[in-house]
Chains A and B, each alone.
Chain A
Amino acid sequence: MILSVLSSPTFVSGLMVARAKKQVHSILFPILVFHDTSGLHLLLGLDFSAMIFLIVYIGAIAISFQFIIMMFHIQIAEIHEDVLGYLPVSGIIGLIFWWEMFFILDNETIPLLPTQRNTTSLRYTFYAIKVRSWTNLETLGHLLYTYYSVWFLVPSLISLVSIIRAIVLTMHRTTHGAVKRQDVFQRNAISFRRTIMRRPTDPIMR
């Protein structure tokens, strides 16, 4: 029941992401999708991933998109006047895409169609939990830092590249004379005897 409560806003909001007319709504609907996705993570028992979703996706990505929309007054509303003309061909291609996706899913391991359900539904019984129960964070750390440490280092390099790129892309505009800079040689050529003088009311003088 909780699953349907969490996934039904996802169904609606996913559609509204592509179709929102106002500016603010087009960022609020992905935030709703990310909320529900984080709740789905909680249902699967991955608490760390749920919190990481909340922090990174909503707190960083959606906020940055919100700032982009807010600062630049981007008009998101667009007119879909000639979409229906493409519907026959694009509908066939979309249906082929969906058919291929469901063609791959093996109906024995992942039962999607309601064929005869004599067997019980999928139950993954992890016996390792009963021996010694690890938290989600512990398992992640146990794998990420030892076996997959190179995998762990590569996203750090990717984050470094993204930081440098974001700075370079947004710095290019403001260095055309709008930023006050200091000339180093001019600063060094100033002698202090000509620029600094003592006031008569200085306590050092008397």
Chain B
Amino acid sequence: MMLEHILVLSAYLFSIGIYGLITSRNMVRALMCLELILNAVNINFLKGNIFSIFVIAIAAAEASIGSAIVSSIYRNRKSTRINQSTLLNK
């Protein structure tokens, strides 16, 4: 009874994370929704696999790199909107 509840929870968190990632106009919120997605995948990988340790390592590495990128973008442009890089749109 517990296993499928956890799988449903993981599917729900995954979809909420994708929804937040798509509809967020802020970079930090997008990064946090990405962490939520990775968390949901991590719950899904618990059925006896050892792969969740690697998912944790990848999530930590990606979080640090994402934070560094967001901070340097914020320093250069003073705003963290996602749709601000439109120079190639013409």
List chain A positions with a Cβ less than 8 A from chain B.
3, 7, 10-11, 14-15, 17-19, 26-27, 30, 33-34, 37, 40-41, 43-44, 46, 49, 52-53, 56-57, 60-61, 64-65, 68-69, 71-72, 74-76, 78, 80, 83, 94, 97-98, 101, 105, 110-112, 121-122, 139-140, 143-144, 148, 151, 154-155, 158-159, 161-163, 165-166, 169-170, 172-173
Structural contact, B72 and A172, CB atoms closer than 8 A: yes
Structural contact, B64 and A74, CB atoms closer than 8 A: no
Structural contact, B4 and A18, CB atoms closer than 8 A: no
Q: Mark B51-71, 1 if CB is under 8 A from A, else 0.
A: 011101111111111011111
Please give, as numbers and ranges, the residues of chain A lying within 8 Å of B74 by CB-CB distance.
72, 74
- Count how many chain B residues have C-beta atoms less than 8 Å from C-beta atoms of the other chain: 55
Please give, as numbers and ranges, the residues of chain B lying within 8 Å of A161 by CB-CB distance.
61
Contacts A17-B33, A33-B13, A40-B9 known; 7 new A-B pairs at CB < 8 A: A17-B20, A52-B53, A64-B67, A69-B28, A74-B28, A155-B58, A165-B64
Knowing A37-B43, A112-B8, the reply to whether A173 touches B50 (Cβ < 8 A) is no
Among B5, B26, B50, B61, contact of A74 (Cβ-Cβ < 8 Å): B26
Please give, as numbers and ranges, the residues of chain B lying within 8 Å of A65 by CB-CB distance.
28, 31-32, 35, 63, 67
Among B1, B20, B23, contact of A121 (Cβ-Cβ < 8 Å): B1
List chain B positions with a Cβ less than 8 A from chain A.
1-9, 11-13, 15-17, 19-20, 23-26, 28-29, 31-33, 35-36, 39, 42-43, 46, 50, 52-54, 56-65, 67-72, 74-75, 80
Please give, as numbers and ranges, the residues of chain B lying within 8 Å of A83 by CB-CB distance.
23
Please give, as numbers and ranges, the residues of chain A lying within 8 Å of B42 by CB-CB distance.
37, 53
- Which of A3, A69, A74, A97 is the most central at the interface, judged by chain B CB atoms within 10 Å of its CB? A74
Docked Cα-Cα span, A172 to B68, in Å, equals 11
Structural contact, B69 and A169, CB atoms closer than 8 A: yes
Among A49, A71, A72, A166, contact of B52 (Cβ-Cβ < 8 Å): A49
Q: In terms of DSSP, what is the predominant structure of the interface of chain A?
A: helix
Select from chain A the residue with minimum beta-carbon distance to B48. Answer: A124
Docked Cα-Cα span, A188 to B19, in Å, equals 60
- Which of B5, B19, B36, B54 is the most central at the interface, judged by chain A CB atoms within 10 Å of its CB? B36
Among A94, A139, A159, contact of B57 (Cβ-Cβ < 8 Å): A159
Please give, as numbers and ranges, the residues of chain A lying within 8 Å of B43 by CB-CB distance.
37, 40
Please give, as numbers and ranges, the residues of chain B lying within 8 Å of A170 by CB-CB distance.
68, 71-72
Knowing A43-B2, A68-B71, A162-B61, the reply to whether A110 touches B7 (Cβ < 8 A) is yes
Select from chain A the residue with minimum beta-carbon distance to B61. Answer: A162
